[in-house]
Amino acid sequence: MVRAILCTGAFVAASVLLAGAMKADGLSERARKLHFSCIVVDTHDDTTQRLLDSKFDLGTRSSAGSIDIPRMREGNIGAIFFSIWMPSKVTGPDAVNRAIVQIDAVREQVRKHPNDLVLATTAAEIRDAHKQGKIAALLGVEGGHMINSDLGVLRAYAALGVRYMTLTHSGNDEWADSSTDKAVHNGLTDFGREVVREMNRLGVMVDISHVSDKTFYDALETSKAPLIASHSSCRAICDAPRNMTDQMMKDLAVKGGVVQINYHVGFLSQEFRDREKANPELNKTISAEVTKRCADNQSCQLIEGDRITREYVEQGKLPRVEFSKIIEHIDHAVKVAGIDHVGLGSDFDGANMPYGMEDAAKLPKITEALLQKGYAEGDVKKILGENTLRVMTDVQLISRELNGEKQKQESRLQ
Q: What character string, x for contact with another protein (CB under 8 A) and - otherwise, covers 272-311? A: ----------------------------------------
Q: How far is the CB of 396 from another protein (least distance, A)?
A: 17
Identify the residue among 87, 92, 133, 378 touching another protein (CB under 8 A): 92
Q: How many CB atoms lie within 10 A of CB 17?
A: 10
**Interior/surface letters 179-203, b for 16+ CB within 10 angstroms, e for the rest:** bbbeeebebbbeebbebbbbbbbbb
Q: What character string, x for contact with another protein (CB under 8 A) and - otherwise, covers 316-355? A: ----------------------------------------
Q: How far is the CB of 47 from another protein (least distance, A)?
A: 18
Q: What character string, x for contact with another protein (CB under 8 A) and - otherwise, covers 145-184? A: ---x-x-xx-xx--xx------------------------
Show the beta-strand stretches assigned E in 191-341: 205-207, 228-229, 258-261
Site for another protein in 99-118 (CB under 8 A): 100-101, 103-105, 107-108, 111-112
Identify the residue among 86, 96, 228, 237 touching another protein (CB under 8 A): 96
Q: How far apart are CA 326 and CA 261, in angstroms?
A: 7
Q: Which of 238, 175, 253 is closest to 212 using CA atoms?
A: 175
303 contacts: CB under 8 Å, gap ≥ 6 = 50, 64, 65, 349
Q: Where are the alpha helices (DSSP H) in 47-91?
A: 48-51, 69-75
What is the DSSP pairing of strand 40-45 with strand 228-229?
A: unpaired
Toward another protein, which CB reaches closer, 160 or 300? Answer: 160
Does 93 participate in binding another protein (rule CB under 8 A)? yes
Q: How far is the CB of 85 from another protein (least distance, A)?
A: 17
Toward another protein, which CB reaches closer, 54 or 63? Answer: 54
CA distances, 170 to each of 102, 145, 167, 398 (Å) = 19, 11, 10, 29
Strand partners of residue 343: 260
- Contacting positions for another protein (CB under 8 A): 92-94, 96-97, 100-101, 103-105, 107-108, 111-112, 148, 150, 152-153, 155-156, 159-160
